[in-house]
Amino acid sequence: VYLFLFIVVFCETGLVVTPFLPGDSLLFAGGTLAGAGLMSYPGICLTLLAAAIIGDSVNFRIGKHVGPPVFQKDYRWLKKKYLEQAHVFYEKHGGKAIILARFIPIIRTFAPFVAGVAGMRQSRFLFFNISGALIWVFSIVTAGYFLGSRPFVQKNFSLIIYGIIVVSVLPVVFETAKHMLAKKKTIPVAVKRDEDA
């Protein structure tokens, strides 16, 4: 379970192609497991902290090496729209964007990448990376820990975990549905233009 949590959080923060992974809900679920006495609270915190810091560092290095050309067009797994959103967020909030982005799905995945593309100094990035990871991991895991220690949660533990899983999957479902609806709206317009021509 520790390895699974590490891999998912590392991928969500470290790879720009996996922004859909459930970071927040996994942190909360890990804390809930610890609160119910099924896992170690310090162990969960250290595992997730390592995943978050290493993930952002890897993402930053990828951005630094890949550079600005990635903003020129859409790729199959790398949407220009998400990069631009993260870039605007980074420009607006500067270094603290790395901390704030920890709490915003999708932006969380792209902010370190954009910081690397923008040429942020590595020592400065590392400071914000570690600070953001500490606040993000300890706040959410601790919230889950206190919930997991409640008798009601311990009695209905499997239902709570299923609920967390459903909540964590919902953003992906909504984003996919939104994308599919947008595609359906553009197809008739394209067909009509072809007919007019």
> CA nearest 35: which of 131, 157, 121?
157
The arithmetic mean of pLDDT across residues 97-107, rounded, is: 82
pTM above 0.95, yes or no: no
The pair of three-digit structure tokens given for residue 163, joined into one six-digit string? 């609920």
The arithmetic mean of pLDDT across residues 108-133, rounded, is: 87
Q: What is the Cα–Cα distance from 84 to 72, expressed in whole angstroms?
A: 10
Span 142-186, pLDDT tens digits: 988 888 777 776 666 666 666 666 665 565 566 567 667 776 665
pLDDT at 129: 93
Span 39-68, pLDDT tens digits: 899 999 999 999 999 999 999 998 888 866
